[in-house]
Amino acid sequence: MNVVEMLGISKQFPGILALNNVDFDLKEGEIHGLVGENGAGKSTLVKILTGVIKPTAGSILIYGSKVSKWDISEAYKYIGAVYQERELVPFFTGLQNLFLGFEISKGSFLIEREMFKQANKLLNRYKIEVPLDIPVNELSPGQQQMVTILKILFRNPKVVVFDEPTAPLSLSEKKSLYELIKNLKAKGVTILYISHYLSEVLDLCDRITVLRNGIKVSTVESSKVTEDELIELMIDKSIKEQYPKECVELGEIVFEAKNVSFDKMGIHDVSFNIRSGEIVGFAGLVGAGRTELARAIYLGKKFDRGEIYIFGNKFVSKSSWHSIKNGIVMIPENRRTEGLILDLSIKENLTLPVLKNLSNMGFIAESVVAQISERIRERLSIRCSSLRQMVRTLSGGNQQKVSLGKWFAGKAKVWIFDEPTQGIDVEAKREIYQIMGDLAKNGAAIWFISSDLKELVAISDRIYVMRKGKIISEHQRPFNEAQILRQMLGGEEF
């Protein structure tokens, strides 16, 4: 039986047809995957499903009955959504977050004993283990997510939407989430699961719907489709085009670290170099020290031993701005909190690093700002309604393009990409690879950190493997992927 049916759903924004005559349904007690590139219409479909926005055309049925008025208050009765950005009050405990707005009280006094009793029933019912008596900002990302999920389950929804739920989680936290989702299914709850990690979509889901350019391409049974076939449905391109790679003639060594140690960070005697035109990948498990090393150098943290050189000249960074002035830029893993100012426009984000050079006597040359930002927008194919659009409203892939595009107006020599394709769709990933290749072709030195070994092997010219704060091996093309993986896991030294 269908819990929800969406028939002929279309949504027109100014200048953009986000959804075009989409039919979509969710069956009772199923896990239904929703995939598609950024801008395919997934977010718009979910916003209509949860009553946040109204469709331009189409109808919604609940248990076979057409709903005359579908808004947030109506959707709230049936549907709960768990988003990437957890909606928690950080200094409140898990219990306080769970009962926020639904506190049990007598007069002006809270009855915490009864609240804990009800919360523990919920924990036991869904086999969730998370402390509810400490502030949520002291919890791990996975525990914070469990509190968020509990808030949804507290009102007993028929459908729970998970939007990119595993992006910030560790391996063990992911396993806990998968178990919870399977447990919800066993209790008859319908799950809509949205993720760019196609392997987990295939493993978890019963059916998968593919959107492309606002149109439903297909709904397939997960047991009857492969990852490669899903990708081809999503981007309408051969899988061979997924990882574009050009051979570039390498130049001189641009960046070199010799026996660099940050003892307090557990990073010891790290030596590596990157040449002009070269993409150097860093492989390793979470906690291996790859991001910590890059951030420490970029932010100008004081190292205990070693030397760093740029074009053969000794360099000691004092701050991120000092690094930027000397040609080192970083596209951080967490683009939303570290790479962008979400409440500024695309134009403002793209020109922020060079704004000082675009002003005279305190007045900004707006025409020059507009020209520079438009040139970057065209170069990176940033999809937007206008350069005045707030960055917060962009898709993940377009946000990532803005995050790296803001360095294009400067004179960067070393580009540090930390997990640049995390949480973005297949087509946006391909575009990021092309941008990295174009930078390398123009002589940049690319420092590429990724947890996706497949993309590291496809895009890198050389790969260093880090484990426990040390570089344990260096690999040249053609790469032995199995050997690299064994070294990452600790099974083989180089």
Per-residue pLDDT tens for 417-429? Answer: 999 988 777 778 8
Q: Give the span between the Cα atoms of 94 and 125, in whole angstroms.
A: 17
pLDDT at residue 481 tops 60: yes
Q: Give the span between the Cα atoms of 349 and 110, in whole angstroms.
A: 45
Among 89-93, 260-264, 302-306, 437-441, the range scoring the smallest mean pLDDT is: 89-93
106 with 142, same domain? yes
pLDDT at 309: 97
Q: What is the CATH number of the domain that holds 222?
A: 3.40.50.300
Say whether 96 sits in a helix, a strand or coil: helix
Instruction: Give me the chain's average pLDDT, please.
Output: 88
pLDDT at 237: 58
> For the purposes of burial, counting CB atoms within 10 Å of the CB of 484, is it exposed (0-12), middle (13-18) or buried (19 or more)?
buried
pLDDT tens digit sequence for 195-219: 877 888 999 999 999 998 899 999 9
> Is 245 part of any domain?
no
166 with 88, same domain? yes
Read off the tokens for 44: 């718009």
Are residues 413 and 445 in contact, defined by beta-carbon separation less than 8 angstroms? yes
> Is 311 part of any domain?
yes
pLDDT at 58: 95
pLDDT at 15: 67
Read off the tokens for 472: 């344990």
> Is 247 part of any domain?
no
The distance from CA 118 to its chain's CA centroid, rounded to whole angstroms, is 34
> Is 125 part of any domain?
yes
Read off the tokens for 184: 């919800």
pLDDT at 207: 97
Which range of residues forms the domain containing residue 131? 2-238
% of the chain surpassing 70 pLDDT: 94
pLDDT at residue 239 tops 80: no
355 with 310, same domain? yes
Q: Give the span between the Cα atoms of 391 and 447, in whole angstroms.
A: 26
Q: Give the span between the Cα atoms of 199 and 166, in whole angstroms.
A: 12
Are residues 172 and 127 in contact, defined by beta-carbon separation less than 8 angstroms? no
> Is 494 part of any domain?
no
Q: Give, for 453, the enclosing helix (H) or strand (E).
A: helix 453-459
pLDDT tens digit sequence for 324-339: 999 999 999 888 888 8
84 with 199, same domain? yes
> Is 243 part of any domain?
no
| Closest by CA position to 397, among listed 29, 43, 22, 23 | 43
pLDDT at 52: 92
Are residues 44 and 11 in contact, defined by beta-carbon separation less than 8 angstroms? yes
> Is 431 part of any domain?
yes
Are residues 243 and 68 in contact, defined by beta-carbon separation less than 8 angstroms? no
For residue 222, what pLDDT band results from cuts at 50, 70 and 90?
very high
Mean pLDDT on 146-173: 84
